[in-house]
Amino acid sequence: MAARAAVWQDAARVPTAVIGVGNRGSYLLEGVLQQPNAKVAVLCDIKPDRLDKAATTAAKDSPRTTTDWHKVIENKEIEAVYIASPPYLHAEMALAAVKAGKHVYCEKPVGLKPAEIKQLVAAAKASKKIFVAGQQLRSLTLLQEAIGKIHDGIIGDIVMVKAQRHATADLPHDGSSGDWYFDVSKGGGYLIEQSVHNLDLCNWVLNAHPTKATGFGAINFYKNQPAGRTIFDCGSIVYEYPGNVQMSFTQNVFHPRLMPAGNQYIHVFGTKGAVDLMYAATMYPINGGAPVVLAEKRAERPHAHIEMFYAAITEGKPAPINAVVGATAALTAVLGHEAMVKQQVVSWSDFGITL
């Protein structure tokens, strides 16, 4: 009986593969291993040491390993694929997985180039399978509650957003991502690779994507560090959203830890008051009234986004954080990046993409 039950349980678990088991892929793998409805069947990475480490982590599921991601896509047994390779590979891998009829969880940014993002969204829309973009902040219940109240009108009409993503330092130059992160053609740069999370939250709260962007970026602090560096270490971008709403965004990697106003924030200004959205989710009424907490801090489920992916697969319901959300976030970042590189006003309409 017990053996038959085990076989049945095994059949009910979604055969899953993880492509890229570096820093993020390892974290995702831990999350997958905790899901009762998932089974880690194949692990893929070009670095054998990472593959071995991941295989040890996932030993309870006895996964096979490969260094060739095409084999994962060709494998008919695999139903769900996680893509946690460097950004320049995401769109190609995700497109191949979608076309092969897999459910796909693709890390952010879902792509670096408008043309590949356009192709990916079209394929994901045409597929009957689930596509989840790794914009996991959307699964935080605190933000869902606070943004829900903003959408219900608690601060009136949104007129402006001021946001930033400052860090105290670069990613380690010899760290796990050092072989791609500092090369703009592989990682996309700080705005596209990191700030895509913050930009996605701005899109979410504004319930729109920007129509235009302009800005400047530079390498002012980590000049030629690491050698050959091509990504900016600071930037200032202004986005325009529908209705002339402005979103002003700054990023840097040299904000001293003890200096105030560091780290990340999103301040949303409305006609009835403003909200400090990230971390605090507090509203400050325009008439000077006492601050109102929009959503109390709470312990969040660390793998809620992964749970959402399998719930969508097993219950056959659409995933809320899908290819369109991922593409919108990526394109918002690409728009800002293009503005910094060209030092011009650039328009979303030039992408020729309707999402």
Ligand X SMILES: NC(=O)c1ccc[n+]([C@@H]2O[C@H](COP(=O)([O-])OP(=O)(O)OC[C@H]3O[C@@H](n4cnc5c(N)ncnc54)[C@H](O)[C@@H]3O)[C@@H](O)[C@H]2O)c1
Provide the binding-site residues for ligand X, judged by CB under 6 A: 19-25, 44-47, 50, 69, 84-87, 89, 107-108, 134, 136, 176-177, 193
Q: Which residues pair with 131 in a beta bridge?
A: 104
Pair 25, 54: CB distance under 8 Å: yes
Place of tokens 């701005």: 202
The strand order across the sheet containing 14-19 reads 64-66, 38-44, 14-19, 80-83, 103-106, 131-133
Q: Which is nearer to ligand X, 25 or 210 (CB)?
A: 25
Rounded to whole angstroms, the Cα distance separating 127 from 156 reads 38
Q: Which is nearer to ligand X, 20 or 273 (CB)?
A: 20
For residue 223, give Cα distances in angstroms to 187, 216, 217, 218, 219. Answer: 18, 16, 13, 9, 6
3-class DSSP state for residue 350?
helix
* Side chain identity at residue 222, one-letter code: Y
Q: Which is nearer to ligand X, 190 or 269 (CB)?
A: 190
Q: Which is nearer to ligand X, 42 or 335 (CB)?
A: 42
Q: Which is nearer to ligand X, 98 or 110 (CB)?
A: 110
> Which long-range contacts link 55-62 to residues 24+ away (Cβ below 8 Å)?
57/26, 57/29, 57/30, 57/33, 58/29, 58/33, 60/33, 61/33
- Least distance from C-beta 108 to ligand X, angstroms? 5
- Least distance from C-beta 44 to ligand X, angstroms? 5
Query: Which residue's Cβ lies closest to ligand X?
Result: 22
- Least distance from C-beta 106 to ligand X, angstroms? 9
Q: Which is nearer to ligand X, 80 or 155 (CB)?
A: 80
Q: Which is nearer to ligand X, 283 or 329 (CB)?
A: 329
Angle at 297 between CA 32 and CA 131, to 5 degrees: 35
- Least distance from C-beta 165 to ligand X, angstroms? 12
- Least distance from C-beta 238 to ligand X, angstroms? 24
In terms of phi and psi (left: phi > 0; alpha: psi -120 to 50; beta: otherwise), the region of 8 is alpha
For 110-211, where are the E strands, in sequence order? 131-133, 158-166
- Least distance from C-beta 222 to ligand X, angstroms? 18
Closest C-alpha to 89, from 186, 15, 206: 186
Q: Which is nearer to ligand X, 86 or 215 (CB)?
A: 86
- Least distance from C-beta 305 to ligand X, angstroms? 8
- Least distance from C-beta 182 to ligand X, angstroms? 12
Q: What are phi and psi of 248, to 5 degrees?
A: -105, 125
The DSSP output letter for 157 is S
